[in-house]
């Protein structure tokens, strides 16, 4: 579906910190970065179609690794990187199905040879996922840093200026 550089915000709205990926995607889309496609997405099984033709894909998601709330976890996971460590990303709070999450999507993509050359997972340490709640204060306070990290990743990989698109939903 996408080529060049793609930023994918993964998560569920109205589920507390689980919306952080979506919020970051919106903020990055507002920057209208040339040549960068921004996608908000909920279902991990659909990720492969979003990233497999990209040169660089950055996926932003809530993560629970035991770090301080709002802290960032950046993991290289593309075709040029090795397999994700066991349990990496296993305790993300996002919805979809517990039986198939982001880590499974990455490794399934690897098995099917459908990973972008470079895939970067940007995790934001999350704490609460209550129904009908907004981002917690710690995660909300980290948004600027997450956006800067994502912009830094796509800018460093910028080849040519092309079109700008934002695909919600």
- Nearest by Cα to 96 from 4, 15, 158: 15
Q: Is 43 in the site for other proteins (CB under 8 A)?
A: yes
For other proteins, the closer CB: 35 or 95: 95
What's the min distance (Å) between Cβ of 96 and other proteins?
5
Is the CB of residue 155 less than 8 Å from the CB of residue 32? no
Q: Considering the complex, state which of residue 42 and residue 134 has its C-beta at the smaller distance from other proteins.
A: 42
Q: Which of 35, 42, 69, 73 binds other proteins (CB under 8 A)?
A: 42
Confirm or reject binding of residue 104 to other proteins (CB under 8 A): yes
> b/e per residue, 87-97, with b = 16+ CB within 10 A?
ebbeebbbbbe
How many positions of this chain bind other proteins (CB under 8 A)? 22
Binding to other proteins in span 113-152, by CB under 8 A: 113, 131
CB closer to other proteins, 131 vs 163: 131
Pick left, alpha or beta for residue 54 (phi over 0 → left; psi -120 to 50 → alpha; otherwise beta). Answer: beta
**Options 42-50, 61-69, 120-128, 142-150: segment touching other proteins (CB under 8 A):** 42-50
* Smallest separation, CB 125 to other proteins (Å): 21
Measured between alpha carbons, how far is 12 from 50 in angstroms, rounded to an integer?
17
Residue environment code for 110-139, b if the CB has 16+ CB neighbours within 10 A, otherwise e:
beeeebbebbbbbbbbbbbbeeeebbbebb
Q: Does the footprint of other proteins cover residue 87 (CB under 8 A)?
A: no
C-alpha radius of gyration, the chain, whole number: 14
Instruction: Between 100 and 159, name the residue whose CB sits nearer to other proteins.
Output: 100
Q: Are 74 and 24 in contact (CB under 8 A)?
A: no
Query: Where along the sequence are the contacts to other proteins (CB under 8 A)?
Result: 12, 42-43, 45-46, 48-49, 95-100, 104, 107-108, 110-113, 131, 169
């Amino acid at each position: 579906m996408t080529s060049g550089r793609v930023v994918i915000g993964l998560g569920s709205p109205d589920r507390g910190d689980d919306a952080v990926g979506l919020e970051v995607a919106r903020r990055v889309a507002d920057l209208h970065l040339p040549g960068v496609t921004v996608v908000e997405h909920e279902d991990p099984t659909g990720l492969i179609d979003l990233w497999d033709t990209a040169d660089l894909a950055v996926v932003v998601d809530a993560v629970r690794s035991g770090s301080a709330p709002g802290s960032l976890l950046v993991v290289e996971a593309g075709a040029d990187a090795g397999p994700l460590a066991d349990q990496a990303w296993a305790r993300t709070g996002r919805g979809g199905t517990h039986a198939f999450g982001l880590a499974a999507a990455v490794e399934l993509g690897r098995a099917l040879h459908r990973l972008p050359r470079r895939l970067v997972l940007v995790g934001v340490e999350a704490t609460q996922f209550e129904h009908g709640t907004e981002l917690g204060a710690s995660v909300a306070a980290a948004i600027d840093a997450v956006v800067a990290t994502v912009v830094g990743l796509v800018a460093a990989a910028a080849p040519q200026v092309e079109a700008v698109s934002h695909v919600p939903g």
